[in-house]
Amino acid sequence: MIQTQNITFSYTEKVNFVFPDIRTENTETLLITGGSGKGKTTLLHLLGGLLRPKSGSILIGETEISSLSEKHLDQFRGKNIGLVLQQSHFVEALSVLENVVLSSWLATGKKAEQKAKSLLKALDLEDQMHKLSSQLSIGQQQRVSIARALINEPKLLLADEPTSSLDDENAFKVADLLENLSKEYNASLIVVTHDQRLKERFPNQISL
């Protein structure tokens, strides 16, 4: 479960955001929509602990993440939050499989190789496992990011435009996978999107 209250954020004195309160239960999906510049990605980064709010509270389970130290926030994020960002930030010298396994090792100290292979197979990336990320298309890279976000069975899954570079077939496949795995892992799923295909699929939405 995630719950926010009275979140505000400022980049500069002239760029200020006041966000609506959010509450999602485990297995629920919430879409965050809105025009360019309304703060959708900023809000997602706040929920993931990549930014800290100017004021307000962000509660994930029973943990108030904005009160955690940087070290404890990093540890909490690695074990509890899966992030699918628009910029993938792969380790370019590692293969696709190694990048996904690395996420499990950094968070838990264990290499979940079989789970990584299963996720990549479910995302139709079985034939790409041993390639470098630079050898993949943008859409394939996006699907690797999703596998990496899911590897630690997070309690909160945050996705920033996860289907924007995908054709209809793969967009619906990714939407199915995100929704099904959020239910399997008893996780909340929050998606920032402009994608009309997702807007038509998930009725629980807020517009900034």
Reported as a single tens digit per residue, the pLDDT across 172-184 is 888 888 888 788 8
Distance CA 52, CA 198 (A): 28
CB atoms within 10 A of CB 111: 13
Percent of the chain topping pLDDT 90 = 43
The pLDDT value given to residue 192: 92
The tokens of 62 are what? 């029973």
Q: Structural domains in the chain?
A: 2-207 (3.40.50.300)
Helix (H, G, I), strand (E, B) or coil at 17: strand
pLDDT beyond 80 at 86: no
Distance CA(172)–CA(21), nearest Å, equals 29
β-strand partners of 32: 192, 206
HEC profile for 96-156?
A: HHHHHHHHHHHHHCCCCHHHHHHHHHHCCCHHHCCCEHHHCCHHHHHHHHHHHHHCCCCCE
Return the SS3 of 167: coil
Note the pLDDT tens digit of each residue in 101-114: 998 888 888 888 99
Look at strands 23-24 and 29-33 and give their pairing.
unpaired
Here the tokens at position 150 are 């899911």
pTM: 0.84
Tens digits of residue pLDDT in 5-41 = 999 999 888 888 999 999 998 888 999 998 888 899 9
Length of the chain: 208
* The predicted structure's pLDDT at residue 169: 85
